[in-house]
Structure 1
Amino acid sequence: MRIISGIYKSRKIVAPKNLPVRPTTDMAKESLFNILNNTYYFDELVVLDLFAGTGNISYEFASRGTEDILCVDQDFGCIKFINETANSFKMPIQTIKSDVFKYLEKSTFKANIIFADPPYNFTEEAFSKIPELVFQNNLLLEDGLLIIEHSKHTDLSNLQNFSYTKSYGGNKFSFFENL
């Protein structure tokens, strides 16, 4: 995986093979950030990265100037890798090792962008808990977005606060906002 743009542009990041992850492809990541670039100033954002995995999305935000980034993942190896990578690049990324749903139930951390990349084999019920908890606990700042990455075979358009979907190969990003 590589960082697409910003001060760390073209830097490659190699994650250990034993991590239970499926990093967002460079093509999908570049397309997502093109959408965000048209709406937000990255240096003004607060970002919450759920099911953070390798931290791929967070590194991209940090490279583009985002100073307030929090990653949540339940896997110790993922958290350790994110911390090591963020430290080596001197990126402003904080981490919390936690089950994402337990974190969302208790969190008061508000963000402009909440990005969630749960396992693609989640049930519809599990996917639906993400926007349910985010909006129930009012975790999005004004004009914020919840973005859930999922397989092209999953349809989240019936979930609370759904706005639109963008497809890139086998990946989809579903966008949710305060309506």
Structure 2
Amino acid sequence: MRIISGKYKGRRITAPKNLPVRPTTDMSKESLFNILNNRIDFDGLKVLDLFSGTGNISYEFGSRGADNITSVDADFGCIKFIKQTAAEFELPISAIKSDVVKFLKTNKSSYDIIFADPPYDMSQENFEEIATLVFENELLQEDGIMIIEHSKYTKMDHLMNFSFQKNYGGSYFTFFEFDNEEFEDTGISEDDELE
């Protein structure tokens, strides 16, 4: 795992082999952040990273200037590793051990970016619950973006606030936001593949 841009560009991070994770690949991560680069200013962003695993996505946001990052995962080993890595790199990451659904039901903060990378084999219903809870509980800022990573077998484009979808290999990124007119104007469609 490497950080692909920002203050710590090129730095490699080696996670323990026993963590129950499937990290977003460097190529998929680079494609995802290329999309975000064209949309947002990372400085000062408030980010929520759900099913954070090794913290791969959190470190990338931190390296690029986000100054308030919350990483949530149910696995103690993952949270311990994220805390250690955040301290080593002096990144503004708060790592919380929690079931993601419970966290979404009780959390009172709102975020500029919410990224969720659930296990690909999680049920369709549970994927939908994640997206629904974020909007029902007003966890996303009005001009914010939620991204859910999933496999081709999970369908997200029928949900409220769906904006567009990109895929790279076996990874799909579905984007949600309150106002998707900007994407309609640019001609980006749900079937576009990541370059």
**TM category, shorter:** over 0.9
TM-score, structure 1 length as denominator?
A: 0.98
Distance in 2 between the 1:65 and 1:163 partners? 25
Question: Runs in 1 of length 4+ with deviation above 3 angstroms?
Answer: none
Distance in 2 between the 1:178 and 1:135 partners? 9
Q: What does 1:87-102 correspond to in 2, within 5 Å? A: 87-102=87-102
Distance in 1 between the 2:153 and 2:50 partners? 21
Tell me the SS of whatever aligns to 1:112. strand
Distance in 2 between the 1:3 and 1:176 partners? 25
Tell me the SS of whatever aligns to 1:42. coil
Counterpart of 2:52 in structure 1 is 52
Counterpart of 1:34 in structure 2 is 34
Q: CA deviation at 1:160?
A: 2.2
Q: Is the 8 A contact 1:164 1:174 kept in 2?
A: yes
Q: What does 1:131-142 correspond to in 2, within 5 Å? A: 131-142=131-142
Amino acid at match of 1:158: H
Q: Deviations over 1:27-50 (max 9, x none)?
A: 110011111111111013110000
Q: CA deviation at 1:156?
A: 1.0
Task: Pick the structure with greater CA Rg.
Answer: 2
Which segment is superposed worse, 149-158 or 47-56? 149-158
Q: Is the 8 A contact 1:145 1:177 kept in 2?
A: yes
- RMSD of the TM alignment (CA)? 0.8
Amino acid at match of 1:46: K
Distance in 1 between the 2:130 and 2:44 partners? 24
Amino acid at match of 1:119: P
Gaps of 5+ in 1: none
Q: Is the 8 A contact 1:70 1:94 kept in 2?
A: yes
Tell me the SS of whatever aligns to 2:131. helix
Tell me the SS of whatever aligns to 2:115. strand
Distance in 2 between the 1:96 and 1:128 partners? 22
Q: Is the 8 A contact 1:131 1:161 kept in 2?
A: no
Q: CA deviation at 1:158?
A: 1.3
Q: Is the 8 A contact 1:116 1:147 kept in 2?
A: yes
Distance in 1 between the 2:56 and 2:147 partners? 15
Distance in 2 between the 1:122 and 1:172 partners? 14
Distance in 2 between the 1:26 and 1:109 partners? 29
Amino acid at match of 1:112: D
Tell me the SS of whatever aligns to 2:125. helix
Amino acid at match of 1:115: F
Q: CA deviation at 1:144?
A: 0.5
Tell me the SS of whatever aligns to 1:44. coil
Gaps of 5+ in 2: 180-195
TM-score, structure 2 length as denominator?
A: 0.90
Q: Deviations over 1:29-85 (max 9, x none)?
A: 001111111111101311000000000000000011111100010100000000000
Q: CA deviation at 1:122?
A: 1.0
Q: Is the 8 A contact 1:19 1:78 kept in 2?
A: yes
Counterpart of 2:166 in structure 1 is 166
Q: CA deviation at 1:176?
A: 0.8
Tell me the SS of whatever aligns to 2:43. helix
